[in-house]
Amino acid sequence: MVHPRVLRAMSTPLLGHLDPEFLTIMNQVQTLLRAVFETQNPFTIAVSGTGSAGMEAALVNLIEPGDQVIVGVNGVFGTRMADIVGRAGGRSVKVEAPWGQIIDLPRLEGALKQAGAVKAVALVHAETSTGAHQPLEDAGALCRRHGALLIVDAVTSLGGVPVQVDAWGIDACYSGTQKCLSCPPGLAPLTLSPRALETLKARKTKVQSWYLDMSMIADYWTEGKRAYHHTAPISMVYALREALRLVVEEGLEARFARHRRHSAALMAGLATLGCEPQAQAGHRLPTLNCVHVPSGVDEAGVRKSLLAEFGIEIGGGLGPLAGQVWRIGLMGESSRHEHVVTLLSALEQIFRRHGWAKQTGHALAAAHQSYATSA
């Protein structure tokens, strides 16, 4: 969902992408992004493109042919990172875990010791395909001890759970606007540390992508330079500024607590319907709730009924989890009490109709109990 203020911002009359007033708006977006990323990095921008453009920008700018990159692979997006590393000419050293599990720090350390010279370690903070929440607090220090950069995918975490770029020693972190920031898709927040920028400046080869070459785009986002590179999506920048204002107004800690509260209530209700979590205990995202579909339940049929009858869309499984799980987003503006109880009520009706539940009310009761104890 998108806040009405964000939609109104998108209807603001257009400015030229080099208009002084628009450049002021770009400065404001950068300041707000630093607050949400919890970083002082000067290079903090919004890449013109969706979250996948942020992923590609982070990787192709820092990886050159022949570079070794350790990639944590425990879902769709770790797999995608490894693919992009290969396309950039790098060599992926995959540290794999079952889908839904996290990548343990000792395994990363073992891979770093065994691999020798490693350019970077790439990890997915919030694996959208499984709901796994990767701990990062000690990963940056580990990478620094081995002379490696830390690259982090925060597409489904930024604005919903803590993403502490500076405190955790993250060198490149990217996200997307359409998840916890509750802005339409079209921009990819990206921040690069001074270490990452030095790596970019020291490249021996050109970045394989002209459009995503951050050494060129940097001048467009640097106050006092503003060299033309491409035409920015003006209305999306308006929208992102307003969405970030809403995040800052709510406060990061209050926002994180809200996501945890509504996720806990949803998961309590889903448990009464036999929906078990896919992600590892203790490492489950409150923004993306991934649960196994109970035996005998028509997974696709339920999703179709939810959309057709109740106007609710939830995601199915990706890759090897297709047909086995539901992925339920409670992100940003969508992380609300009314959405939790409406979804649980709809699921109970569908389950009762098909004989998958003998009676209704237990899911809602469990959710209400969760809210009562977390108030």
Q: How far apart are CA 91 and CA 82, in angstroms?
A: 8
Q: Is the dihedral of CA 151, 152, 155, 161 positive or negative?
A: negative
CA distance 22 to 221: 11
Q: Is the pLDDT confidence value at 221 over 90?
A: no
Residue 276: Cβ within 10 Å count: 12
Residues 6 or more apart whose Cβ sits within 8 Å of residue 216: 210, 229
142 pLDDT band (50/70/90 cuts)? very high
Exposure letters 296-326 (e unless 16+ CB within 10 A, then b): ebebeebbebbeeeeebebebbbeebeeebb
The DSSP code sequence of 211-237 is: TT-HHHHHHHHSTTT----S---HHHH
Domains detected in the chain: 4-250 (3.40.640.10), 252-374 (3.90.1150.10)
Asked if 204 and 64 count as a contact pair (C-beta separation under 8 A), the reply is: yes
List, in order, residues 6 or more apart from 15 with CB less than 8 Å away.
Answer: 21, 22, 25, 234
pLDDT confidence of residue 260 = 98
Residue percentage of the chain with pLDDT more than 90:
93
Going by C-alpha positions, the residue among 300, 286, 297 that lies closest to residue 329 is 286
Average pLDDT, the chain: 96
Read off φ and ψ for residue 177, nearest 5 degrees.
-80, -20
Strand partners, 42: none
Predicted confidence (pLDDT) at residue 375 exceeds the cutoff of 70: no
DSSP structure class, residue 17? T
HEC assignment per residue over 268-327: HHHHHCCCCECCCCCCECCCEEEEECCCCCCHHHHHHHHHHHHCCCCEECCHHHCCCEEE
What's the CA gap between 200 and 228, in Å, rounded? 20
Sheet strand arrangement including 149-153: 43-48, 187-192, 172-174, 149-153, 120-124, 68-73, 91-96
β-pair partners for 43: 192
Q: Are 182 and 243 in contact (CB under 8 A)?
A: yes
Each residue of 158-216: pLDDT tens digit?
999 999 999 999 999 999 999 999 999 999 999 999 999 999 999 999 999 999 999 99
The dihedral of CA 107, 113, 114, 119: what is its sign?
positive
| Residue 156 φ/ψ, nearest 5 degrees | -105, 15
Tell me the whole-structure pTM to 2 decimals: 0.96
* Tens of pLDDT, residues 5-23: 999 999 999 999 889 899 9
